[in-house]
Amino acid sequence: MLEAINLTKKYGDFTALQSLNLTINEGEIFCLLGANGAGKSTTINLFLNFIGATSGSAKINDLDVTKHARETKQLLSYIPENLMLYKNLTGLENLQFFCGLGGKHQSKGELEELLEQSGLQTDFINRRVSNYSKGMRQKVGIALARARGSKVLLLDEPTSGLDPKASNEFSELLLSMKEKGVATLMATHDLFRAKDTGTHIGIMKEGRLLEKFESQEVSFRDLEKLYLKHMHN
């Protein structure tokens, strides 16, 4: 569902991403680990076609994101660190609005059910988003991905700032999306979450993917050692 082929992004003499090769299949959750400036967000922004590649290509469902911008955007949902929702609208109204933009028109009842399935407490569905915690806003984002039938999830630090309970709930939601065959690319600092939720893990530093492996291949302790070794080299 997601493929990077020699994907490179340069800003003048600075290389933000160097020759990334990556494949993420249906039902896989690929977690990119790395410090700030490692190239994680650049990778996600290239798949979103927010920025253009200097060379190489990013593909979603075998379609190049620059040549097929509209089709590829319809396949994905993006949840950044701080999801932009309209604060003066309720969770339900936000969902109705964004689904309408994408040409999807579900009934009020169907959308309420999607919000409940995404873990939003029933008594918050009709409250303004200005009253929501970050975890609640992320749940609206997952509900939107479900409503749109997204095949791909792109997540940039979605659990930063969440308390352990909210972070765990978010992981449960990702696993439920995985069961539906959704391919997920998640940039994160959270080693525990990557090991616990990811099917695959990559370690990035200074625009390069240094390691990639299946999460079951390493213990959490070994992952921590490997990560720290790369960060200190």
pLDDT by residue (tens digit) across 89-144?
A: 999 999 999 988 877 778 999 999 999 999 999 999 999 999 999 999 999 999 99
Cα separation, 132 vs 87, whole angstroms: 9
| Adjacent-strand bridge partners of 205 | 208
Task: Please report, rounded to a whole number, the percentage of residues in the chain having pLDDT higher than 90.
Answer: 90
Residue environment code for 65-98, b if the CB has 16+ CB neighbours within 10 A, otherwise e: beebeeebbebbbbbbeebebeeeebbbbbbbeb
pLDDT by residue (tens digit) across 3-59?
A: 999 999 999 999 999 999 999 999 999 999 999 899 999 999 999 999 999 999 999
Residue 161's pLDDT band (cuts 50, 70, 90):
confident
Output the CA torsion 82→83→87→92 (10° steps): -150
Q: What is the pLDDT of residue 95?
A: 94
Between the alpha carbon of residue 6 and those of residues 20, 23, 132, the distances in Å are 5, 12, 40
Q: What is the pLDDT of residue 94?
A: 95
Helices (H) and strands (E) in the chain, counts: 8, 10
Q: What is the pLDDT of residue 106?
A: 86
113 three-state secondary structure = helix
Task: Please report, rounded to a whole number, the percentage of residues in the chain having pLDDT higher than 70.
Answer: 100
Residue 231 pLDDT exceeds 90: no
87 three-state secondary structure = coil
pLDDT by residue (tens digit) across 69-92?
A: 999 999 999 999 889 999 999 999
Domain boundaries, the chain: 2-83+151-232
User: Please, what is the average pLDDT of the chain?
Assistant: 94
Cα separation, 227 vs 103, whole angstroms: 43
CB 30: neighbour CB atoms within 10 A?
22
Residue 190 amino acid letter? D
pLDDT by residue (tens digit) across 168-191?
A: 999 999 999 999 999 999 999 999
Cα separation, 213 vs 217, whole angstroms: 7
Residue 155 pLDDT exceeds 80: yes
Region 180-207: mean pLDDT is 96
Q: CB-based contacts of 122: which residues, under 8 Å, 6+ apart?
A: 116
For the domain made up of 2-83+151-232, give the CATH fold: Rossmann fold (3.40.50)
Rg (CA), the chain: 18
